Amino acid sequence: MSHLSIQEEIDLLCSELELFDDVMDKYEYIIELGKQLLPIDEKYQTPVFKVQGCQSQIWLHPYVKDEKLYFEAGGDALIAKGLVDILIRIYSGHSAKEILDTNSAKLKELHLSEIISSGRQNGIASMLKRIYGFAKEVSEDKGGK
Partner 1 sequence: MYKDDFPFFKDNDLIYLDNAATSQKPQVVLDKMNEYYTQYCSNTHRGSHDLGNRATQEYEDARASIAKFMGVGVNELIFTRGTTEAINLLATAYVKDNFDRVMLSELEHHSNIVPWQLHGLQIEVIPVDKDLNIDIKTYEQLLQKYPKSFVSITHISNAFGIINPIKELISLAHKYECQVLIDGAQALAHLSIDLKDIDADFYAVSAHKAYGPTGIGALYGKYELLDKMKPYQGGGSMIDDVTFEYSSFLDPPWRFEAGTQAIAEALGFRAALEYISKLKDLQAHNKILLEHAKSELKNIDEIELYTDAKNISGNISFNIKGIHHDDIGILLSKQNIMLRTGHHCAMPIMKKLGIEGTIRLSFAIYNTKEDIDKCIEALLKAIRMLR
Q: How far is CA 45 from CA 12, 26, 38, 60, in A?
A: 31, 28, 13, 8
Nearer to partner 1, 12 or 54 (CB): 54
Q: Assess whether 54 carries a catalytic annotation.
A: yes
Whole-number Å distance between alpha carbons of 47 and 65: 24
Whole-number Å distance between alpha carbons of 54 and 39: 21
Residue 46's nearest CA partner among 67, 61, 66, 34 is 61
- Applying the rule CB under 8 A, the residues between 96 and 125 that interact with partner 1 are 114, 121
- Applying the rule CB under 8 A, the residues between 2 and 61 that interact with partner 1 are 23-24, 27-28, 31, 54-57
Whole-number Å distance between alpha carbons of 68 and 55: 31
Nearer to partner 1, 21 or 66 (CB): 21
**Selected catalytic residue, list 12, 32, 46, 54:** 54
Residue 78 found at the interface with partner 1 (CB under 8 A):
yes
Q: Which residues bind partner 1 (CB under 8 A)?
A: 23-24, 27-28, 31, 54-57, 76-80, 114, 121
Would you please indicate which residues are annotated as catalytic (active-site) residues?
54
